[in-house]
Amino acid sequence: MRVEVVAVGTELLLGQIADTNSQWLGEQLAANGIASHYHQHVGDNHERMVQVFRTALARSDALIVCGGLGPTQDDITRAALAEVMNVDLVRDEAIVTVIESMFSSRSRTMPQNNLLQADVPHGASIISQRRGTAPGLICPLGNKVIYAAPGVPYEMTEMFERAILPDLLERERAAGNSSVIKSRVLKTWGASESGLAEALGERFDELGEHGAMTIAFLASGIEGIKVRLTARGSDDAHALELLASEELIARRIITEKLGDIIFATDEDTMEDAVATRLSEAGLSLALAESLTGGLISSRLVNVVGASTWYRGAVVSYSSQVKYDLLSVPEGPVVSIEAAVAMASGVRRALGADVGLSVTGVAGPDPQDGHEPGTVFVGLDIRGVTEHASLRLPGDRPRVRAYSAISALDVLRRALDRSL
Amino acid sequence: MRVEVVAVGTELLLGQIADTNSQWLGEQLAANGIASHYHQHVGDNHERMVQVFRTALARSDALIVCGGLGPTQDDITRAALAEVMNVDLVRDEAIVTVIESMFSSRSRTMPQNNLLQADVPHGASIISQRRGTAPGLICPLGNKVIYAAPGVPYEMTEMFERAILPDLLERERAAGNSSVIKSRVLKTWGASESGLAEALGERFDELGEHGAMTIAFLASGIEGIKVRLTARGSDDAHALELLASEELIARRIITEKLGDIIFATDEDTMEDAVATRLSEAGLSLALAESLTGGLISSRLVNVVGASTWYRGAVVSYSSQVKYDLLSVPEGPVVSIEAAVAMASGVRRALGADVGLSVTGVAGPDPQDGHEPGTVFVGLDIRGVTEHASLRLPGDRPRVRAYSAISALDVLRRALDRSL
């Protein structure tokens, strides 16, 4: 079964609010092995809504329409559905009663336009409301179906889980499809998307685009490149089994060809990877940040429980602070020597086991004879120091963001070696 | 002209990444008076992409396609465009040279499949890349056009502003739609969207929804509420004149009813507002951050020229660092007293004119008897101290983000009073 998501609302087209419903529904459908090949956004315009619904019905088996079920004049999804179904809107007295009692229970008088929400296309069945006033609809069209839910995520998600998904799965079973999809994301840092694609190219071709296992590459900007493995199995166990064996293969190929570039899985981040290693080793961390200006620190404190291993940071944006607080020797502050001195200095100043530092040139102008994008990372683990030199692309914010995750990756690799 | 946005990528359909491009483009098109009636998402599948492009061309005058221009096997937008244009893909040697030099400049060898990015549909013109490797495309189809840009927002937005928007506006002029749209965004912090809507409600009704001037409210999460004024004039001068007079009216109404909540205009940020005031007053700044963990500092260093007024920060995540480096009196570190001591301590330690501090509880657990969301801001301007107490909503990252902009707003208002 192919399910298409249609988000209704002029505010979506004008970019005044983000459409989080399509992403959420896409994730839910995929997790349940239901194919979704298209999403559409359309405004609160009768003709265009009708046209979008017809376009979607021509290429999909089911539509999930979000939005336009409210009580105001521009909530016209019900009328558009009635036209596509070629039926009339009928006022449902049961819904009238529910809405009236909802208002009276909150001892508020009901504005008359709320009754619009009781108008139902003839032949549609109703998804009762539990979190708002507008009920959802299940509109049959021959062997196809349109589900309509409110645009408010809090209301839509509840209706999807309670009524829409069960109905979809029942239709899948009736159609003899009951496969389950599971996916895993391997997060990498240090390789290009094309480099990964080349490393996994052979495996990519072996699996093909429509097999039980597929591989995809997601460039996620400053967070590196993600490799997504997706398995389609007869049930959860089967899909997870396929996924587990493919993950072993992918990890082996990537590590053999590109080294230790996989830093996390699924929702984990680079800071989680560092946090896990520090906690396990019982090591505390202090940072000395120059061009990154606190960016690395602000990432680390998002890890729950960071206070058990994170001491804090000195953001030595001016050279004087490097000399005074971090006892960096007077002289150029964009150098390997300065980076190492900053790491050792902050480790002592904050009484930590590990000191990590970053100094460099964010740009736009060169500094100490170095071009923008020149970055030095210093590391001091209980007195044992090392350093890394980087050349990073982009404008100021970009150079900073790359520097932050690069420095954390230097720490991750060093901890793996030293532990 | 009607412009349709098509976001390409199976990861969008699977909900693995959010499509922020459609929202951003919708906002840009609206701000430039260009109609956009539909958005679509489609996966990395040749037949479906071709079908989606044709559907869009049938109902819109121009398409902006985001994504699928990368170097990997699943980047197939170029081939789909060639089929819709009914032309061949031709390898562009100029692009080959650019991509090769980009890799060599980073002293990396170029994987061969990067050359796929040099394949161009015959007859398409090229939007050169400035931030990545994949160039964009302008594909003419009779009197219609398809623009193709990378899916990476950082690359897409730059191409839109440099090449796509100017081309669209030129087509608008050629089509005789020569009215000019100018808009200004007033950024506010500290008022609710409904509060602003109520304050400006009368003016909103006077202007109406389809007049030469319109007002819109854009909630932008942690950055506060934006008020967008949009003027449609016969030419630039006329539109700017309308805009200027409306801005005076809006500023007067907002300030009279809600106080000094407008902190910036258009692209300016809260950190720009603070930077301007510090530079003008010749004051240097140092930060002491606890629960914000360096977030405020990382925002300040994004201001070009920050080194002239910004000394740096101490991120005192552990209490011991507060006692040792900031000479905060031993005792509870989530209190007004601790906040003020941190501000004065960091001002002295880093030799700055102004010290700003934030301490509080990010959650999930209470601390020092305070609930999550309890935040204290300390300020020391040349020995004159003040403080603010805040109660902020949301989870850890949200409390932090609100704390950061709130603290900067405290500084902004204090500088306005003291200067």
Q: Is the pLDDT of residue A328 over 80?
A: yes
Question: What is the per-residue pLDDT for A134?
Answer: 85
Cross-chain CB nearest to B73 (options A204, A228, A310): A204
A332 token code pair: 């150029």
Q: Is the pLDDT of residue B67 over 90?
A: yes
Domain made up of B270-418: CATH architecture = Alpha-Beta Complex (3.90)
- Give the DSSP H/E element, type plus range, for residue B11: helix B10-13
| pLDDT tens column, A218-254 | 777 788 999 989 898 888 899 999 999 999 999 999 9
User: What percent of chain A clears pLDDT 70, i.e. is strictly above it?
Assistant: 99
Name residue B227's beta-bridge partners: B186, B217
Q: Is the pLDDT of residue A264 over 90?
A: yes
CA distance B19 to B8: 9
Range B276-287 average pLDDT: 97
Question: What are the C-alpha distances in Å from A49 to residues A140, B6, B265, B311, B388?
Answer: 17, 17, 36, 56, 50
Judge whether A38 and B48 are in contact, CB under 8 Å. yes
Question: What are the C-alpha distances in Å from A167 to residues A7, A57, A147, A310?
Answer: 20, 17, 10, 49
Question: CATH 3.30.70.2860 in chain B, residues?
Answer: 180-265
Which chain B residues are within 8 Å of A321, Cβ to Cβ?
311-312, 350
Q: What is the distance in angstroms between the Cα of A116 and the nearest Cα belonging to chain B?
A: 24
B131 in contact with A, Cβ within 8 Å: yes
Q: Is B195 helix (H, G, I), strand (E, B) or coil?
A: helix
| pLDDT tens column, A365-398 | 898 899 999 999 999 999 999 999 999 988 888 9
Question: What is the per-residue pLDDT for B181?
Answer: 80
Question: What are the C-alpha distances in Å from B112 to residues A227, B116, B133, B369?
Answer: 19, 8, 13, 61
Tell me which of A30 and A276 has the higher pLDDT: A276
Question: What is the per-residue pLDDT for B220?
Answer: 66
Q: From B293, which residue of chain A is nearest by alpha-carbon distance? A: A298
Judge whether A415 and A274 are in contact, CB under 8 Å. yes
Q: Is the pLDDT of residue B104 over 80?
A: yes
| pLDDT tens column, A178-224 | 777 788 999 999 988 888 989 998 998 898 877 889 888 877 778 89
Name residue A281's beta-bridge partners: none
Q: Is the pLDDT of residue B211 over 90?
A: no
Question: What is the per-residue pLDDT for A158?
Answer: 94
Give φ, ψ of A302 to 5 degrees.
-75, -10
Tell me which of B179 and B353 has the higher pLDDT: B353
Contact residues for B96 (Cβ-Cβ < 8 A; gap 6+): B115, B118
Mean pLDDT of chain B: 92
Q: Are A194 and B16 inside 8 Å of each other by CB?
A: no
Question: What is the per-residue pLDDT for B102?
Answer: 82
Q: Are A13 and B216 inside 8 Å of each other by CB?
A: no
Question: What is the per-residue pLDDT for B295?
Answer: 97
Q: What is the distance in angstroms between the Cα of A385 and the nearest Cα belonging to chain B?
A: 23
Length of chain A as a residue count? 419
Indicate the pairing of strand A310-315 with strand A285-289.
parallel
Question: CATH 3.90.950.20 in chain B, residues?
Answer: 270-418
Range B331-347 average pLDDT: 96
Contact residues for A170 (Cβ-Cβ < 8 A; gap 6+): none
pLDDT category, B221, cuts 50, 70, 90? low
Q: Which fold has domain A3-174?
A: Molybdenum Cofactor Biosythetic Enzyme; Chain A (3.40.980)
Q: Degrees (nearest 5) of the Cα angle A101, A103, A108?
A: 135
Tell me which of B307 and B111 has the higher pLDDT: B307
Question: CATH 3.40.980.10 in chain A, residues?
Answer: 3-174
Q: From A7, which residue of chain B is nearest by alpha-carbon distance? A: B39
> Please, what's the largest Cα pairwise distance for chain A?
83
Question: What is the per-residue pLDDT for A286?
Answer: 98
Question: What is the per-residue pLDDT for B219?
Answer: 67
Which of A128, A174, A124, A167 lies closest to A150, judged by CA? A128
Range B383-407 average pLDDT: 93
Q: What is the DSSP-derived secondary structure letter of residue A328?
A: P
CA distance A342 to A289: 8
Which top CATH class is B180-265? alpha beta
Range A294-318 average pLDDT: 95
Per-residue DSSP letters for A204-249? HHHH-SSSSEEEEEEE-GGG-EEEEEEEEESSHHHHHHHHHHHHHH
Interface of B with A in 220-279 (CB under 8 A): none
